[in-house]
Amino acid sequence: MDIPAMRANFARAAATGDEAPLYFYSHLFLSHPETRAMFPVSMAHQRDRLFAALGDVVARVDDLDALVPILQQLGRDHRKFGTLAAHYPAVGASLLATLEHFDDQWTPELAKSWSEAYDVVATVMIEAAEEAAEQPAWWDADVVGHDRRSIDVAVLTIRPQARYDYLPGQSLSLETDLRPRLWRYYSPANAPRPDGLIELHVKSRDGGPVSSALVRRVGVGDVLRLGPPMGHLALDPESDRDLLLVAGGMGLAPLKALVDQVARHGPPRRVDLFVGFRTEDQVYDRADLQRLQSENPWLGVTVAVSEDKVSALEHGDVGDVVLRRGPWQSREAYVAGPGPMVDDTVARLLQHGIPRARMHSEVFAPSRPGPSIDGEVTE
């Protein structure tokens, strides 16, 4: 497979903006009308997502060691859409037709590379889905608590109706009847509990139909559907190294789950959690952070604000505040939040001396529909 040629080809299609995904979906729905029912009634919030994800995944098929576990997760996850093995050739044919349509440099060799790459991806995903056939495609979960913390933030407490296993730091996709076939990803803010309750932190995003519904319209008694857990932001079970946790905004949720894991299961270690917001009125979870710190003497919590000059909280970007409180070279570091914050903080901590092998990060990106192969999470 000529991976550089494939990437250049996909870039030419992507440069057309909406035209390539529109062509892709038109080709798919006209050639295989049965696939239309797998997508939302309105495609306004879908548009380029599947097409972009296909290119993202297939163009990295030269790194199978990293890609295969992600594809296996995706294969299991896509069962919630009603995806069958027979659908994969249809999607692949529409992908190749689109890439050919928008590239006057298309060649038989390029077609062969894309076909081989897609076959590898589809095979891994289909096999993973078949191996998970005995598991539910999704889980129903009752909303048992809805705490509106601010005009745009709510904390939901949900209870799956059947056992739902996940690791602290992972993400789960969910769907509400208010927004059918629009699945969005959130990270539980607690480790698994004996009572099965899961705490979700949700911020209503501009143009985010699911997050807006969860904050403003979903209530106690409603039922959500959960997809299989995904993600890679998890503690090393073989390590008892002290932890440095750095969150920006809603990136607090998975890191709070890691704190809960240490509290419930150990091993004993020092944990320092830093949480950054722009202004003090955005600090939506202060009471529970104070509770965690008071109950756990091994935990330190620092809240920072970057644009609030009158606040008594720490001032500055959260990365600056972290470095002022160092040194951290001996820690295992976890960073979660918006892309620019994560990139800046990770770069600073690497320069500070934390080895890359002990650096873990998760980007929360509202423009994406779920975890990408880089681990991004949205809404």
Contact present, 155 and 200 (Cβ < 8 Å): yes
Predicted local distance difference test score (pLDDT) of residue 372: 38
- Pick from 250, 300, 308: nearest CA to 316: 308
Predicted local distance difference test score (pLDDT) of residue 42: 64
In this chain, the answer to whether the domains covering 139-226 and 243-363 adopt an identical fold is no
> Residues 322-345: what's their mean pLDDT?
94
Contacts of 359 (CB under 8 A, 6+ apart): 333, 335, 346, 349, 350
For residue 124, count other CB atoms closer than 10 A to its CB: 20
pLDDT in tens, 121-176: 899 999 999 998 888 989 999 999 999 999 999 999 999 999 999 999 999 999 99
> Residues 12-37: what's their mean pLDDT?
89
How far is it, in rounded angstroms, from Cα 158 to Cα 179? 18
> Residues 344-361: what's their mean pLDDT?
95
CATH architecture of the domain formed by 139-226: Beta Barrel (2.40)
- pLDDT interval class at 370 (50, 70, 90): very low
- pLDDT interval class at 43 (50, 70, 90): low
pLDDT above 70: residue 379: no
In one-letter notation, the amino acid at residue 161 is Q
> Residues 240-259: what's their mean pLDDT?
96
Predicted local distance difference test score (pLDDT) of residue 186: 94
> Residues 274-280: what's their mean pLDDT?
95
How far is it, in rounded angstroms, from Cα 68 to Cα 121? 8
Domain boundaries, the chain: 3-131, 139-226, 243-363
Predicted local distance difference test score (pLDDT) of residue 46: 61
Topology, domain 243-363: Rossmann fold (3.40.50)
How far is it, in rounded angstroms, from Cα 296 to Cα 288? 12
How far is it, in rounded angstroms, from Cα 376 to Cα 374? 6
- Pick from 76, 53, 36, 56: nearest CA to 181: 36
Predicted local distance difference test score (pLDDT) of residue 45: 57
Q: If you classify domain 3-131 with CATH, what class do you get?
A: mainly alpha
pLDDT above 70: residue 31: yes
Q: How far is CA 216 from CA 144, 155, 156, 181, 225, in A?
A: 15, 11, 11, 19, 18
Q: Of 52-56, 201-205, 351-355, where does mean pLDDT reach its minimum?
A: 52-56
pLDDT in tens, 168-200: 999 999 999 998 888 889 999 999 999 999 999
For residue 81, count other CB atoms closer than 10 A to its CB: 18
| 3-state SS record for the chain | CCHHHHHHHHHHHHCCCCHHHHHHHHHHHHHCHHHHHHCCCCCCCCCCHHHHHHHHHHCCCCCHHHHHHHHHHHHHHHHHHCCCCCHHHHHHHHHHHHHHHCCCCCCHHHHHHHHHHHHHHHHHHHHHHHHCCCCCCCEEEEEEEEEECCCCEEEEEEEECCCCCCCCCCEEEEEECCCCCCCEEECECCCCCCCCCEEEEEECCCCCHHHHHHHHCCCCCCEEEECCCECCCCCCCCCCCCEEEEEEHHHHHHHHHHHHHHHHHCCCCCEEEEEEECCHHHCCCHHHHHHHHHHCCCEEEEEEECCCCCCCCEECCHHHHHHHCCCCCCCEEEEEECHHHHHHHHHHHHHHCCCHHHEEEEEECCCCCCCCCCCCECC
Contacts of 39 (CB under 8 A, 6+ apart): 25, 46, 181
pLDDT in tens, 55-108: 777 767 777 887 888 888 888 888 888 888 989 999 999 999 999 999 999 999
How far is it, in rounded angstroms, from Cα 181 to Cα 184? 10
Predicted local distance difference test score (pLDDT) of residue 81: 83
pTM: 0.82
Q: How far is CA 50 from CA 153, 226, 244, in A?
A: 28, 20, 35
